[in-house]
Structure 1
Amino acid sequence: MLPVNHTAKIMKKKLISIDVSIGTYREQLLQLTRLGENHRSSFVCVANVHMLVEAHKDASFAAVVNSADMVTPDGMPLAKGIKLLHGISQERVAGMDLLPDLLSTAGSSGISVFFYGGTRAMLNKTKEYCANHFPLLRVAGLISPPFRPLSEQEKQEDIAEINASGAGFVFVALGCPKQEKWMAAMHGRVHACMIGIGGALPVMIGLQKRAPVWMQKMSLEWLYRLLQEPKRLFKRYAITNTVFIYLFFKQWSRQGFRPVAK
């Protein structure tokens, strides 16, 4: 069980268009656990290059991300960008690592969890996976919302079900940017820590494979995903990676290719 009462406050640093939470993996895991344990209405964005570029293109989406309680550096490019721009050695805080670690911690800490998003088949597999791998964990509920805009009544029904469940964590799997916008809209209404886990859930339960460690360390996890789903992801990666590199070097050059003072 993690000593959540001694968690230091997480600060943020600007990276192009988003404010990224700074701190070791363990420090951010502790802060997340504290939010879940306190049932505080909060939300967390697990940020990668795609999210950063979407925020750069859309000021309203940037405002959503930057209003989050925490924005973890999911992608290695973000962690390395913090080092080059701010001189801070930042660990990667990836959703694929956070999700199982938070579920394990929630089980040992008595924090129940809720899953929102994904197909019913995926959620059924998620429930089965959690029962087999996290026997102490209480899954308080699972909702697979329809793939269309919800009516206000449907939203209220989902909010009521989540709050009545007593969940401390709500893991949201709607995909970026939909899940971040949903969490922001639910802030103050859902009495739990909401975390946008995106593609981490299908990887955890075995529907997709994760890149080998050596590819993760070399910032090539995107390439592994591209090889798995070339038709769906080629355009996204071809554009977003190029835009990120351009934006990063533009900001870095303004700083004289050196980090700003801490």
Structure 2
Amino acid sequence: MEALTTGPRDQRRCFVLDVPVDACRDVTASAIGLHADGGGQIVTLNAEMTMTARRNSDLGAVISAAALVVPDGAGVVWALSRQGIRVKRSPGIELAWSLLSYAAAHGWRVALVGASPQVMETLCDRLSLQLPALQLNFAEHGYQDASAWPELEARLRRLSPDLVLVALGVPLQEIWIQRMRDQLPGLWMGVGGSFDVWSGLKQRAPGWTSRLQLEWLYRLLQDPSRWRRYLVLPQFAWSVLRGGDGRR
């Protein structure tokens, strides 16, 4: 890996199958540095999202424009390693929790959007116990009537939060964030199923599955309906191998 700068946003933009991803020594420091620079969108990239971005030009454009693209999945880390770029896997759920903790310690205004009404209610209760100093100024579930979204979005814009975590699923959350954060400060990040895990209604895969790169199998056993989504994993691996190293 080429030498990087030593600033708080120490990162270098790389590519996996033409989809951008950032190599950072410390993703949390990079995200906090981004907030200090006025904010931006954070995307957490895995193999599934990479392949979706190649088919979905709207998602691809969002990722390309994002201020920070984190190597969330083991497949992305592996593809980068084939280019001689050594990075650690940085799970989005861990980065998001680190940012929540930092927000609580530094008085950031925080907004949460997405998941089911039950998950959001339980999550808010848990956060009040786990992070009592957190300034949670906005918390809305994602199962809103279409007519409710314009007012919800207007309230969120007026709040101008420091940190917005969005759990609407890929690619909707990424595309919605890009539209919403136009000319607004703060960090905006899609977090997928993180709210479900933080609420306690779902369990995160054990650490050993991550070390063995079997986290996908644990999720599949928890939710067999996901099996079609995982068909993309061998397609991703084959595309990287066929391309030599996955570089642009």
TM-score, length-scaled by structure 2: 0.89
4+ runs deviating over 6 angstroms: none
1:114-153 → structure 2 map (5 Å cutoff): 114-146=111-143, 150=146
In structure 2, what is the Cα distance between the partners aligned to 1:206 and 1:64? 31
Distance 1:145 1:227, change over 3 A: closer
> Which of 217, 226, 234 is the matching residue for 1:233?
226
* Ranges in structure 1 where 5+ consecutive residues have no aligned partner: 1-5
Kindly provide the CA deviation profile for residues 46-97 of structure 1, in whole angstroms up to 9, marking residues without a partner as x: 111110110112233211211111111111111121111x212101111121
Match of residue 180 from structure 2 = 186
* Contact 1:163-1:191 within 8 A present in 2 as well: no
* Alignment partner of 1:204 is 2:207: no
How many angstroms does 1:127 deviate by? 0.8
In structure 1, what is the Cα distance between the partners aligned to 2:48 and 2:122? 27
SS of the counterpart of 2:221?
Answer: helix
Amino acid at match of 2:229: R
* Contact 2:112-2:164 within 8 A present in 1 as well: yes
User: What value does the CA root-mean-square deviation take over the aligned residues?
Assistant: 2.2
The number of residues matched between the two structures is 242
Kindly provide the CA deviation profile for residues 137-196 of structure 1, in whole angstroms up to 9, marking residues without a partner as x: 111111224466x46x843x2333123334201001000011111112223154321100
Match of residue 3 from structure 1 = none
Match of residue 30 from structure 1 = 29
In structure 1, what is the Cα distance between the partners aligned to 2:163 and 2:213? 29
Amino acid at match of 2:33: R
Distance 1:253 1:186, change over 3 A: closer
> Which of 102, 106, 128 is the matching residue for 1:105?
102
Distance 1:154 1:16, change over 3 A: same
- Once the two structures are aligned, what percentage of the paired residues are identical? 26
Amino acid at match of 1:28: V
In structure 2, what is the Cα distance between the partners aligned to 1:222 and 1:74? 13
SS of the counterpart of 2:29?
Answer: helix
SS of the counterpart of 2:21?
Answer: strand
* Alignment partner of 1:48 is 2:53: no
Distance 1:189 1:161, change over 3 A: farther
In structure 2, what is the Cα distance between the partners aligned to 1:44 and 1:18? 14
> Which of 57, 60, 63 is the matching residue for 1:62?
60
* Contact 1:126-1:205 within 8 A present in 2 as well: yes
* Alignment partner of 1:251 is 2:243: yes
TM-score, length-scaled by structure 1: 0.85
* Alignment partner of 1:10 is 2:2: no
Match of residue 92 from structure 1 = 89
* Contact 2:41-2:188 within 8 A present in 1 as well: yes
